[in-house]
Chain A
Amino acid sequence: MAIKKRVYVNFFRPSTPSMKAEARITSIVIVLWAILSYGIPLLIYLVGLGDPSGSGESFITRSRFLGFPLHYWLIAQGCTVGYVLLCKLYCTLWDKRVARGNPRRKSL
């Protein structure tokens, strides 16, 4: 006998505890992802608005980090290393919050 009540899944309104935990860690990681991917270019853009030549020179492009121009380092290594760490964060959070609350999943 099929259950007649329809399954309800909505990322923003998760219905079960484990789905809640999943959606929560996913939102955390996605927010951080958005900050890395779009926040940093936006920052570089905003502080570079003052450059009359339009190439976006600013204190960020003038500062040096590990010898790199900061704007280059932020994208080339800051973001990409950040993504790997985000994946790690996601896996860690998952083990902590989702897997612990649901022993059944471990046996899958």
Chain B
Amino acid sequence: MNRTSLILCLTLAAICGLAVNLFAAAGEEIYQVEQGFKLIPAVIMITMLCVYVGVGFLSKVSDTSGYWVASQEIGKFGNGAAIASDWMSAASFMGVAGLLYLKGWFGLGYIIGWTGGYVLLLCLITAQLRRFGKYTIPEFLGDRFDCHVVRLLAASVTVIITITYAAAQFKGIGLICGWIFGMSYTASVFFAAGVVTAYMLVSGMAGVTRNQQLQYVVLISAFMIPLWVLIKKAGGAGILPQLEYGPILSGLMEGSVAGPPLSPEEALELRRTFLPWGMGNFYQFIALVFTLMVGTAGLPHIMIRFYTVKNEDIARKSVLWGLFFIGLLYWSSPVYAVLGKFWNPNGGPTVADVIILSAPERANLGIAYIGYLASGAMAAGLSTLAGLLMTGASAIAHDWYATVLRPECTDKQALMVGRIFTAIICIIVIVIALKPPALIAQIVAMAFAIAGNTIFPVVVLGIWYSKSNKYGAMASMIWGFGMTLMAMVGWILGIEFFGPEGLMPATSSALIVCPIAFLLNIIVSNVMAEKVTEETADRSDNILRKLHNLPGNAAEPRNKNVAFFH
């Protein structure tokens, strides 16, 4: 069986579950969700959306400061919640449980990949980036290597990651709007885009961050509450569902389910799903986990979070809290998956799609709760989208425009360009979301590979290896990005090597590409060391002193951009 493409199809299904699929949803009754306008949930959801926009409006940025980095005044819980909410997309909210439902034990690779990456991020990158203290990842790379090519490369990669990742959010949002308002997919894309653009343009990063804290609370509570009811229904004590689904899972492996007894073949299949290598082999597991980890640690919209806090101490602690908040969701997702298998052992992707959205009905939580759950899922999508658009727009407006193209521009112009590009990126994303290329889910999975292969190595070496210079950085970025693209094209063309069973599956390519990118960076940097001018080396040294609190850090000339951003 073609496993990796199965994963992709399932991810595709989970992320993209178009409204049409819902109508056709087969499976048990409780695993269906009804399409069409629902008054009470709709009112609740609209109210919540107004609250989101209202919060953004109240924390409106009047004096142009803090559009990018929220005036660097966010605390550790707040920033932790913002990291979590930035991270947890509509796909995480609705898709992970479905993935675990279909992939069983193998699906856990996604969970540890997406959480373990934060450990890397914390110990290798966080504190140093915060000490650098400026605003975007391309800016860090551009300054560290004193090279506009590196800056532009990094900015372009950031924009590419942003756009693909953001387009996928609309899929999830479309699913929700179809469910609550009975909107068509096209209408919901415009609806969501309107909401997100409105509050972003009004408020900037401060509003987005404040919203993300609120949205985290809404989404995590909406996600977890049904569990207590459901676990009781399945025979648990209903105290801590995350610890109570074990016996049910053990039962599943012995073939005991809620409905009529399974045939021996079905029971065997079910058992295989939850055995380690039933759905994928050891190499595939490790490659997936590694790719997701370095990808997570290399995602620009997560890294940018550390600039929004007061000092590096809070930056570190906010990763700790962020990971804990993310953990709450990932400890709960398997419960849904296992209960899903318990009640409906043979469901396919259509059941997996709606495993979360159908939860309130299964738990008899009432019509109002449906609205709350939808607001939570919507919050997940919107907050990720806002964080992404912010990062993408800052890469263009700050790193392309204000630093490279028009260094002489004024504060007002830079901010204006920032707003314009927020809107432009939003439009591009809408266009892609409306007419998605057939393979959008693959491309999104590729966002992790791109981040892990391109951004992660160059940032880590930039911080921890003083000999790394612009030539090494360029070589490793071009290698990482090129190989990821090649793997993607190879995958689409069906070349064995990049295929699901191949040595370098496109979505898990980092296990091979990322270490080579490190190596290449080191080798090229050493070979080309002679070519680096004194001036460039001086500037790099100055940045390194700052990163590692070394003595002799010369104060940088405070150009107006720096003044503006404070």
Chain B residues in contact with chain A, CB under 8 A? 105, 108-109, 111-112, 115-116, 118-120, 122-124, 127, 131, 242-247, 249-250, 253, 272, 274-278, 282, 285-286, 289, 293, 311-313, 316-317, 319-320, 323-324, 327, 330-331, 334, 463-467, 537-538, 540-541, 544-545, 547-550, 552, 554
Query: With A68-B250, A84-B327 known to touch, is A75 a contact of B548 (CB < 8 Å)?
Result: no
For the complex formed, measure the closest distance between the CB of A102 and the CB atoms of chain B, giving whole angstroms. 7
The DSSP consensus for interface residues of chain B is helix
| A38 neighbours in B (Cβ, 8 Å) | 286, 289
Q: How large is the interface on A (under 10, 10 to 19, 20 to 34, 35 or more residues)?
A: 35 or more
User: Within the assembled complex, what's the spacing in Å between the Cα atoms of A48 and B324?
Assistant: 31
**Those of A70-87 within 8 Å (CB) of chain B:** 71-73, 75-77, 79-81, 83-84, 86-87
| A30 neighbours in B (Cβ, 8 Å) | 119-120, 123-124
| A102 neighbours in B (Cβ, 8 Å) | 549
In contact, A36 and B123 (Cβ under 8 angstroms): no
Name the contact of B541 in the complex, choosing from A6, A36, A99 (C-beta under 8 A): A6
In contact, A41 and B289 (Cβ under 8 angstroms): yes
Chain A residues in contact with chain B, CB under 8 A? 2-3, 6-11, 16, 18-19, 22, 25-26, 29-30, 33, 36-38, 41-42, 44-45, 48, 54-57, 61, 64-69, 71-73, 75-77, 79-81, 83-84, 86-88, 90-91, 94, 99, 102, 104-106, 108
Write the chain A residue with the least CB distance to B461.
A11
| A42 neighbours in B (Cβ, 8 Å) | 282
Query: With A10-B466, A41-B286, A67-B246 known to touch, is A56 a contact of B276 (CB < 8 Å)?
Result: yes
| B540 neighbours in A (Cβ, 8 Å) | 7
In contact, B552 and A37 (Cβ under 8 angstroms): no
In contact, B282 and A29 (Cβ under 8 angstroms): no
In contact, A88 and B320 (Cβ under 8 angstroms): yes
| A76 neighbours in B (Cβ, 8 Å) | 108, 111, 331, 334
User: Within the assembled complex, what's the spacing in Å between the Cα atoms of A45 and B231?
Assistant: 31
| B119 neighbours in A (Cβ, 8 Å) | 29-30, 33, 83, 86-87, 90
In contact, A55 and B323 (Cβ under 8 angstroms): no
Could you show 23 A-B contacts with beta carbons less than 8 Å apart? A2-B554, A7-B466, A9-B465, A10-B466, A11-B464, A16-B550, A19-B550, A33-B119, A41-B286, A55-B275, A55-B277, A68-B245, A69-B246, A69-B250, A72-B105, A75-B109, A76-B111, A79-B115, A79-B116, A83-B112, A90-B119, A90-B122, A90-B316
| B274 neighbours in A (Cβ, 8 Å) | 69, 72
